[in-house]
Chains A and B, each alone.
Chain A
Amino acid sequence: MFVFTQKAKIFAAALTLIGLIMVVIGFNSAGHEAEGHDAHAIEMHADHADAAPADEVHAEEAHADHAEVAHIDHAEAAHGEEAHADHSEAAHADHTEVAHAEHAEAGHGDAHGGHEDHGAANRPWAALLVNTIFFLGIGIGTLFFLAIQYAAQAGWSAGILRVMESVALFVGIPLLGMLFLVITGTMEMHHVWHWMQDGIMDPANPNYDKIIAGKEGYLNDTFFTLRTVAYLVIWAGAAYLLRRNSLKEDQLPEGQNLFFTQRKLAATFIVLYAVTSSTSAWDWIMSIDTHWFSTLFGWYTFAGMFVTALTVLNVLVMFLRVKNYLPWVNDNHQHDLGKFMFAFSVFWTYLWFSQYMLIWYSDIPEETPYYLARFGEYKTLFITMLAFNFIMPVLVLMSRDSKRIMGFILLAAVFVLAGHWMDHYIMIMPGSVGYNYGFGWVELGGFLFYAGLLLYVVQRNLAAAPLKMKNHAMIHESKLFHQ
């Protein structure tokens, strides 16, 4: 039986509290941070004028895209009078949209100022979204892995299913965080999702955007909120039901189990998740860059989430083994978790590259802005992220022995977790805040807030039930697992 000590409780609660305070500070100081960006903005212009290919197609594109590829357009806009005028209109409209007092005070005379401020106002919200998605990945990835164990009738993992359940149950909290972000978005409190802006679908409005208006059937406030609620119900519901049955199984007389009930449940969830994993990624992340789309995006996001979850699971199992809570789990189980971590790091890279290479190769103006932004202002972070997510796990975890040595697993875990946090950051930030990005109160505070909650919830769940399932059909097989 796992013991959730008083010390651990206080630590987790303190992390959450500190995180929360930092988030509040971040939200209150968002306006002031925005003031320092003017010089930065000028740098950006020079940068982008170099980076952007000076062809006519792009100049034309610039009219249509204003917020999604904000800074690229800025560079282009400088060339054409018309585009410039267009921009200042859009920017001023944004100004009136955002009711923050700081904004009115800031009152930049030029068009660019207005647009950048929009990004600055989005900054704390976008930072919260990055952390929400990152921790959501830990929960939903583990839940998916748990469901896979039942659907595949896997025997080796039966001894660590309780650990998976504990992490999977966490999924509800970041989902509530998502719901909060979605509702505040529809209430126009932030414009992380650019398409939520008033009038963007209305031809008579100066904010009108033809391309975004064409997506109204899918991207509208009601359907969007409903989908988020549906993900919350399906995902958190599946986690709850799998856990409930698992606890119920312990109460059955010896030799009886609920394996096939669990298997049906798991299979149903996997089918639903196959659809919702993609649609949720489109909704929450891809729709930030509203004009842009990628058919691979759902899988790419899922792969990142899954490898994050596997890494957390690997570290958690290792921690529990060190504390001697899991005497029936041996090096071979740990090795298999390491293999999963290694394999899905490579899988993530494969999907990342598949998406990137096709866009790079075909070089179509409607697709390339996504990577122009990421190879412009975000280049250092982008390259570092790739190295952390691919090269480091491959080098550290390739050999058989390293998957069995704690130090190596921890080393790889640090890189993978940091890398995937950065990956989510790079997915979200360019489209929502442009070049007003940084690492400040909400980025760190949001992380601590969710990390504290994760620690609290997981330890509470671990302590709530015996770590070894009593009647699970495969528990003996798991115990004898070797290579």
Chain B
Amino acid sequence: MAHTEHTPVVRALYLDDDVVLDAVKSLRGKGIKVKEVYSPFPIHGLDKAMGLKETRIAMAAFIYGLIGLTVAITITSYMMNLDWPQNIGGKPSMTWGKNMPAFVPIMFELTVFFAAHLMVWTFMIINKLYPGAEPQNPDPRTTDHHFMIEVAAGEGVVDALKDTGAIEIAEA
């Protein structure tokens, strides 16, 4: 999630993932907007507690897989049957259809290859994690042993954060 420089925010640090999860739930229950949570590892159920939109990466992966499958079918039929017809397994039929079983591993591998690689790149680009991207983590401690909740600044926000067990609160 892109973090915006312009709106003022309050950042609270925590020491435990369960506390963070409960804090997010109670803050949202009070109508405070949780903008972002930083954590050294994924927290089960946090996406639902934060009310994040469901990811659409599955649909992207399906499309990437289909692209990979198409590429595999195209290259096997061109290379092995059209451009330079090959005798496959002593069965010189020279047609893609009849030699299909021999191409299934290629079709499978390229489907997985395209789906996996393009999915990772998509994820990186959407999350601004490409080389040269500006770091967005406001506090390096959240990459090791701390957790951070970032909420929009407003009336009573600091008190609400204190109630949830924050060990350190900073306004920015």
Contacts and interface: CB of A to CB of B under 8 A. Distances in A.
B89 A398 contact: no
Contact of B101 (A357, A398, A400, A483): A357
Contact of B104 (A357, A398, A482, A483): A357
A362 B102 CA distance: 11
B89 A360 contact: yes
Given A360-B89, A482-B44, A399 B101 contact: no
A356 B89 contact: no
A356 B101 contact: yes
Interface in A367-399: 398-399
A482 B45 contact: yes
A269 B148 CA distance: 47
A223 interface: no
B66 to A, nearest CB: 12
Chain A contact residues (Cβ within 8 angstroms of B): what range? 10 to 19
A361 interface: yes
Q: Interface residue tally of chain B, by bracket? A: 10 to 19
A356 B100 CA distance: 12
Given A482-B44, A482-B45, A483-B44, A361 B58 contact: no
B89 A363 contact: yes
B90 A363 contact: yes
Nearest to B105: A357
A244 to B, nearest CB: 35
A356 B104 CA distance: 12
Nearest to A481: B44
Contacts of B91: 363
A353 interface: yes
B62 interface: yes
A400 B55 CA distance: 11
A399 B65 CA distance: 14
Interface in B73-127: 89-91, 101-102, 104-105
Nearest to A398: B62
A360 B102 CA distance: 9
Contacts of B102: 357, 361
B101 A362 contact: no
A137 B58 CA distance: 33
> Which residue among B45, B101, B105 has the maximum number of chain A CB atoms within 10 Å of its CB?
B101
A82 B52 CA distance: 77
Interface in A339-373: 353, 356-357, 360-363
Contacts of B101: 353, 356-357, 360-361
A342 to B, nearest CB: 13
A400 B58 contact: yes
A343 B156 CA distance: 50
A357 B58 CA distance: 30
A360 B99 CA distance: 10
Contacts of A363: 89-91
A353 B90 contact: no
A373 to B, nearest CB: 18
A361 B89 contact: yes
Contacts of B104: 353, 357
A356 B89 CA distance: 14
Contacts of A361: 89, 101-102
A356 B102 CA distance: 11
B44 A362 contact: no
A172 B44 CA distance: 41
A210 B62 CA distance: 53
Interface in A58-111: none
B80 to A, nearest CB: 14
Contacts of B62: 398
Nearest to A399: B58
Contacts of B58: 399-400
Contacts of B105: 357
Contacts of A356: 101
B89 A362 contact: yes
A175 B103 CA distance: 40
A12 B49 CA distance: 46
Contacts of A400: 58
B61 to A, nearest CB: 10
Contacts of A360: 89, 101
A361 B105 CA distance: 13
Nearest to A360: B101
Contacts of B90: 363
Nearest to A362: B89
Nearest to A357: B101
A455 B54 CA distance: 39
A21 B75 CA distance: 57
A353 B89 CA distance: 16
A483 B42 CA distance: 12
Nearest to A356: B101
Contacts of B89: 360-363
Contacts of B44: 482-483
10 contacts: A353-B101, A356-B101, A357-B101, A357-B104, A357-B105, A360-B101, A361-B101, A398-B62, A399-B58, A400-B58
Given A363-B91, A482-B44, 8 more contacts: A353-B101, A357-B104, A360-B101, A363-B89, A398-B62, A399-B58, A400-B58, A482-B45
Interface of B: 44-45, 58, 62, 89-91, 101-102, 104-105
Across chains A and B, which 8 residue pairs bring their CB atoms closest together, nearest first?
Answer: A361-B89, A357-B101, A360-B101, A482-B45, A363-B90, A363-B89, A400-B58, A353-B104
Interface of A: 353, 356-357, 360-363, 398-400, 482-483
